[in-house]
Structure 1
Amino acid sequence: MGSDIGGILLPDSRLAREATELIRDVADDLIYHHSRRVYLFGAHHGRRHGLAFDPELLYVGALFHDLGLTEKFRTSQQRFELDGADEARAFLTARGIPADRARLVWEGIALHTTPEIPHHMAPEVALVTAGVELDVLGIGYDTLAPETREAVVAAHPRPDFKRRILHAFHAGLAHRPQTTFGNVKADVLDRFEEGYTRPNFVRIIEDSPWPE
């Protein structure tokens, strides 16, 4: 393991270093620092709840989870979570990680904006969501000792984070509004994208081509 931030160890393997280099090359400070906090908060949550997890896999999942919001990777028409999940799986398999282990990382990233379900899956899946929920939504904020929280934020600052992460979501979603159907990201475009109409599940059923 590598450095210690707030009592939480960061992996320092070749795999972890290469993942850090990749994210550092394509992500701005907002996404980089957020992703590192997601690992630290997720690992803290896992340790607190006695979960056995692979730190390398959790680290890659955390670092790649918002890759689909970066300028280089946000050009697809699929959900941005899938952009990061696909890249993470390719990154891991290219480095000899078995398919079943890479699949855990893919699932952790693909499901990190889907409430509740990840928490019933493998720790490497659940802890990405736990880290995201704490850093973005504040869920579990009071479970962190103030000194741990302060150490993490000192190492990975979050200036104007709420406004800036919402802007990053908007920039990553505006060209693919169809990907917000049935998930929380519809709230982002409803707030920030002029002319956006929120998809309505009931109306889609009622207007389907089936006669009854």
Structure 2
Amino acid sequence: MTVRIADVEIPDSALARAATELVRAAAEPLVYDHSRRVFLFGAFVGDREGLTYDPELLYVGAMFHDLGLTRTYRTSDQRFEIDGADEARRFLREHGVSEEGSRVVWEAIALHTTPEIPHHMAPEIALVTTGVEADVLGIGLDAIPDEARAEIVAAHPRPDFKRRILAAFTDGIAHRPQTTFGNVKADVLERFVPGYVRTNFVDVIENSAWPE
């Protein structure tokens, strides 16, 4: 059955349904609803801006973007973004998606916490970041009318979202603090994990093996 929210059609292909089932099984409702809002906000902005994008690829990118925070898919030796990106690529290949399509989704997920760069890449990559920035940081909300925003949130509520998403970030990365070097998640550990000391880029250079 076709579902439209804020005039955005949620893909209902076999691929999209399989992605929805996988994320529902692995993620808490907090992450599931957040991921659906990321798709809806990203697609809404993309449609308003007249961008040409593949709705299925955008949907998988949005739905899998925080999968690396879940207990099922998290690892201990790489950034959580890469966990989700790797699983998305595996999933897409398994469902017959081209290497190019799989690469676009991998990059969309791997780069969604990297400011600016995604917005200079393929529309699907840019729009995953657009959706994340809107839902988590409130960036670009002025591009989404109040009525559309209300319809999206009614379909996928965000109760106590700020506190709960920060707790989910902390839980998903506290066991691998080394992976936050040079990215925004170091701010999360600095705020919420006692004793955490962020790696300093200047210290890395000054203490490297080079004599000068």
**What's the TM-score bracket when you normalise by the shorter of the two chains?**
over 0.9
Alpha-carbon distance in 2 for matches of 1:143, 1:124: 18
Aligned-pair CA distance for 1:2? 2.4
1:46 alignment counterpart: 46
1:105 alignment counterpart: 105
Opposite residue 13 of structure 1, the aligned amino acid is: S
Residue 164 (structure 2) pairs with residue 164 (structure 1): yes
Contact 2:86 2:106 in 1 (8 A): yes
Figure out how many residues of one structure are paired with residues of the other and give that number.
Answer: 212
Aligned-pair CA distance for 1:76? 2.9
Aligned-pair CA distance for 1:128? 0.3
Opposite residue 88 of structure 1, the aligned amino acid is: A
Structure 2: 5+ residue runs without aligned partners?
none
Aligned-pair CA distance for 1:174? 0.5
Residue 111 (structure 2) pairs with residue 118 (structure 1): no
Contact 1:76 1:83 in 2 (8 A): no
Residue 28 (structure 2) pairs with residue 31 (structure 1): no
Alpha-carbon distance in 1 for matches of 2:127, 2:143: 15
1:135 alignment counterpart: 135
Contact 2:23 2:64 in 1 (8 A): yes
Root-mean-square deviation over aligned CA pairs? 0.9
Length-normalised TM-score, structure 1:
0.98
Percent identity between the aligned chains? 68
Alpha-carbon distance in 2 for matches of 1:49, 1:182: 31
1:153 alignment counterpart: 153
Aligned-pair CA distance for 1:89? 0.3
1:7 alignment counterpart: 7
Deviations 1:151-177 (A, max 9, x none): 000000000000000000000111000
Contact 1:85 1:107 in 2 (8 A): yes
Alpha-carbon distance in 1 for matches of 2:45, 2:2: 19
Deviations 1:39-58 (A, max 9, x none): 00000111111110000000
Structure 1: 5+ residue runs without aligned partners?
none
Alpha-carbon distance in 2 for matches of 1:129, 1:34: 13
1:181 alignment counterpart: 181
Length-normalised TM-score, structure 2:
0.98
1:76 alignment counterpart: 76
Opposite residue 96 of structure 2, the aligned amino acid is: G
2:56 alignment counterpart: 56
Aligned-pair CA distance for 1:8? 1.0
Aligned-pair CA distance for 1:77? 1.5
